[in-house]
Amino acid sequence: MILREESIKKRGLENCIHGDAKRNNKAKLYKIWIGMKSRCYNPSRCDYKYYGKKGIIVCNEWRNNYNAFKFWAILTGYQEGLSIDRINSSGNYEPKNCQWTTHSENVSRSNSENPRKKPKGSSD
């Protein structure tokens, strides 16, 4: 979903200056945005191997524009306590491939997509 200027104005978001990056009080949504980018572009992160190393990127619309990400988040129902989730876990962070879920839903979905190997000698 690319936010068109008329869509932003219609929703009263045109003056949404984020101010979410205050030094000691970063907003949760801002931390989600930073974490998403860091997983994809910071090779020193321990989880980089699951994101950036596999070629997962953040779309151009969001990568350098927190307000674009914030607008999308508001329009798609972001609330405190939700986590960003890629619908296709092999796909990029982009509007058509992301949704908001609780952390436990996200973990549960990840586990069902990547079942652990059964122990040797286990029947089934």
The residue range of the domain holding 101 is: 27-113
- CA dist 83 and 107 (Å) reads 10
Which residues have C-beta within 8 Å of that of residue 54, sequence separation ≥ 6?
A: 90
pLDDT at 9 over 60: no
Give a yes or no: residue 75 inside a domain: yes
pLDDT at 71 over 70: yes
Segment 48-76 shows an average pLDDT of 97
Token code pair at residue 123: 């029947």
pLDDT at 105: 83
pLDDT at 123: 47
pTM above 0.75, yes or no: no
Give a yes or no: residue 85 inside a domain: yes
CA distances 6 to 46, 89, 96, Å, are 41, 32, 20
Give a yes or no: residue 66 inside a domain: yes
Give a yes or no: residue 14 inside a domain: no
Give a yes or no: residue 86 inside a domain: yes
Q: How many domains does the chain have?
A: 1
pLDDT at 29 over 80: yes
Q: Most distant CA pair in the chain: distance in Å?
A: 62
- CA dist 69 and 59 (Å) reads 10
Which residue in the block uniquely carries the two structure tokens 């989880």?
Answer: 47
Give a yes or no: residue 83 inside a domain: yes
Percent of the chain with pLDDT over 70: 67
Token code pair at residue 64: 């350098």
pLDDT at 76: 97
